[in-house]
Structure 1
Amino acid sequence: MLKRTRSRQRRRPMAEINVVPYIDVMLVLLVIFMVTAPLITQGVKVALPQEKAGGIPSPTTESLIITVDEFGDYYIDIGDEKNAPASEQILFDRIRVVLEYTPETPILVRADHRVDYGRVVRAMVVAQAAGAPEVGLVTVPPERREP
C-alpha cells in the first residue's frame, strides 16, 4: 500500500497547454488565405472610359452596379450568378427587388468604352423602369500628363 501512495504523489497533472502547434496551424492558414483571397475576387473585365467628372458623394448604403461588357452583355452585382450574363428582364426583376427593400440604393452603370451607346442607354432605361429615380455612370479619371 505504501508504494501506491508515493507514486501518486510524484505524478502531478500538467497544467500547461502547449500552444506552439496551434500557432503553426494558424500561420499556415493565414498564408493560404492571403494567397487565395485575390483569386476568389471575380468580376467582369471592362475598360471604362476616361473622363473628368465630379465624384458622387459616398452613399450610406452599398451601390447596385450594372456592368455592360465589350460584347454588350449585362451583368448585375447581386444574386447568385454575378458573373453570368443577365437579360433585361433579370435586370429589371433584381433591381425592383432591391429598390423595394432599400429605395435609396444608388444604381450605377459601368460600361466598356467599346460597347454600343444604345446598350448603355437601354440598361439605364431598364433601371429607371424598375423604379430607380436616378442612374449614374461610372468612369475612370484620365491619366495625369506631366508638363
Structure 2
Amino acid sequence: MGMGVASGGGGGGRRKRRKSRAVMSEINITPMVDVMLVLLIIFMVAAPMMTAGVPVDLPKSAAADMPSQTQPITVGVTPDGQIFVDEDQVTEAALVETVTARATNGTEDRIYLRGDTTANYGTVMRVMGMLSAAGFTKIGLVTEREQ
C-alpha cells in the first residue's frame, strides 16, 4: 500500500529551465525627462496667472507717447475726496455710469487716474477698484516726472 507523491508541476516530464536574466542596473531617464518637460510647460503657463493685486497699466517715464485713436478718459481725485470725470464732478455712485457712458470702445478704453499727492490713498484705490470691477482693464496712474 505504498503511495507515491509526484513533485513538480504535473506531467512528470522534464522541466525546462529558463535562463535567468541579469538585473538591469541602468536607469531609463526618458520618462523622467518627459514628466519634467510637462511640468515646466505647466509652470510657465501658470506663473503669470499667480500674480495678485489690481492690474494697473503704469506709465513709463522714458517711453514715447503712444498714438491713440481715441481720447483717454481722465478721472481725477482731489485732496478733499471729490471725484471728477474729465471736467465734470461726479459722486462715487455715478462714477461707473458716467465713465461707461463716455467710453467709445466699451471697457477697452484707456482711463487715466489722477490722484492728488495729498489725496486719501483709500479714496484713490476705491475709485480704481470700482473701475476695475466694472470691467475696465486699461487703467493708468498719471504722475509727473521728478526734476
User: TM-score under structure 2 normalisation?
Assistant: 0.52
Name the % identity.
26
- Please give the residue correspondences for 1:1-147 in structure 2 after superposition, counting only pairs within 5 Å: 53-55=61-63, 57-77=66-86, 82-84=87-89, 86-99=90-103, 101-103=104-106, 104-143=108-147
Cα pair 1:59 1:106 within 8 Å, conserved: no
Cα pair 2:75 2:83 within 8 Å, conserved: yes
Number of the residue aligned with 1:36: none
* Higher mean C-alpha deviation, range 127-136 or range 67-76: 127-136
Instruction: Give 4+ residue runs of structure 1 displaced > 4 Å after superposition.
Output: none
Aligned length: 87
- How big is the alpha-carbon RMSD for the aligned residues of Structure 1 and Structure 2? 2.2
CA distance in 1, matches of 2:88, 2:97: 17
| Structure 2: stretches of 5+ with no match in the other structure | 1-58
CA distance in 2, matches of 1:139, 1:54: 13
User: TM-score under structure 1 normalisation?
Assistant: 0.52
In structure 2, the CA distance between the partners of 1:59 and 1:118, relative to structure 1 (3 Å rule), is same
| Structure 1: stretches of 5+ with no match in the other structure | 1-50
